[in-house]
Structure 1
């Protein structure tokens, strides 16, 4: 099952028109809202993981940990994606994506998709943290981080700490029509 999820994730990333993603800003509003949803979901996961840690290890002073980090390594430290899939993703991104951050995010999403259902069983119904980020990429949501904000040209999202995002209002629908309506408003 996890190998199927991982394969589907690599296929999803490979289907993205990365050139358009780096040149288009038409979905800035929905991309910013999707980013807020990613931050909220990641924060909810961090909150759950913090419960099991004697010393806090997620904060903004450790950029490898917040907000774009390998969450799977904290859920199941020994989990690794299929080496063929990892190589396929790496080769694709090396050719098509110009941002090291994008590569790091996609690798973390692959690691997440590679987790076994057993390793996720203890977390109840927590949402997939990477789904909103992959939608940002699919919808041509180019962004950069500057001065404490994630910037989408027409919209910005305050980075902050995970604690700043844990109680944010969830985005109830990630469907295309809902996201398109945000961009039309």
Structure 2
């Protein structure tokens, strides 16, 4: 039998313990694109869960088990370990969501049928975001500060959609993150390849294309509609649109042939 500390709530708690919560700002800045998309994906998933369990007033940062199974009781050892972790490491919204992630994982162990199977995994995007540069905070204006980028989350209704904003697949997230200010471009049809323009700290513009080799290669200046190029087929793409194209390329026949 597997060690109980590798199961259920213990597994998620151990994962939280391994996160470098005090990571330097450079680490968070190097993952600024993926961290923002992961936060938006969490907001989407939490909106679906809030609607399903009448938790709209608590959206977006909550312990969902208070609505799914308010009677949930953690094993004593897990409860003690979780409380110690939260007391010494966590504050505010991060504390609430970390507790929710552990408790939801434990609920699945105790009662696999307790939650609605049609809902996406709730806390995974947030856990991956934490792993890619630490925590976040909400300022007095309501904006979310992710270190290196901040944005206003909008309303719950803005996120009630079935289309994922980003995958939690590490290879896709890594392909999105890079140094500098990035603008993505794609064809009008919304398929590959993905191109990007990077404005580096020194002021240099660098143009790159995500190739069939599944990496970024330097290319010539991008001819886009924004630059007034006649007959240009490339238009600005959101990071989420770029992520979907990159994921499709990574899952396509050519990628599978390389793996084989």
From the CA coordinates, give the structure whose radius of gyration is larger: 2
Cα separation, 2, equivalents of 1:158 and 1:99 = 21
Offset of residue 13 of structure 1: 0.6
Match of 1:180 among 156, 171, 174: 174
1:83-116 per-residue CA deviation (whole Å, 9 max, x = no partner) reads: 3112212223433x25333222211111111212
Q: Secondary structure at the match of 2:151?
A: strand
1:12-53 per-residue CA deviation (whole Å, 9 max, x = no partner) reads: 011111111777422121111000010000101112223xxx
Q: Stretches of 4+ moved more than 4 A in 1?
A: none
Cα separation, 1, equivalents of 2:120 and 2:152 = 22
Match of 1:8 among 11, 36, 45: 11
Matched, 1:102 2:133: no
Stretches of structure 1 that go unaligned for 5 or more consecutive residues are: 51-56, 60-64
Match of 1:44 among 48, 61, 76: 48
In 2, are the aligned partners of 1:143 and 1:151 still within 8 Å (CA)?
Answer: yes
Cα separation, 2, equivalents of 1:58 and 1:126 = 16
Matched, 1:35 2:39: yes
Cα separation, 2, equivalents of 1:58 and 1:109 = 18
Match of 1:77 among 70, 83, 91: 70
1:160-184 per-residue CA deviation (whole Å, 9 max, x = no partner) reads: 3322211274135211111111212
In 1, are the aligned partners of 2:9 and 2:105 still within 8 Å (CA)?
Answer: yes
Question: Partner residue of 1:119?
Answer: 114
- Give me the CA root mean square deviation: 2.5
- How many residue pairs end up in the alignment? 171
1:86–1:140: structure 2 CA closer, same or farther, 3 Å change rule? farther
- Which TM-score applies when normalising by structure 1? 0.80
Cα separation, 1, equivalents of 2:39 and 2:128 = 9
Cα separation, 2, equivalents of 1:23 and 1:58 = 35
The structure carrying a bigger helix percent of its residues is: 1
The structure carrying a bigger strand percent of its residues is: 2
1:52-76 per-residue CA deviation (whole Å, 9 max, x = no partner) reads: xxxxx523xxxxx121111111111
Stretches of structure 2 that go unaligned for 5 or more consecutive residues are: 183-260
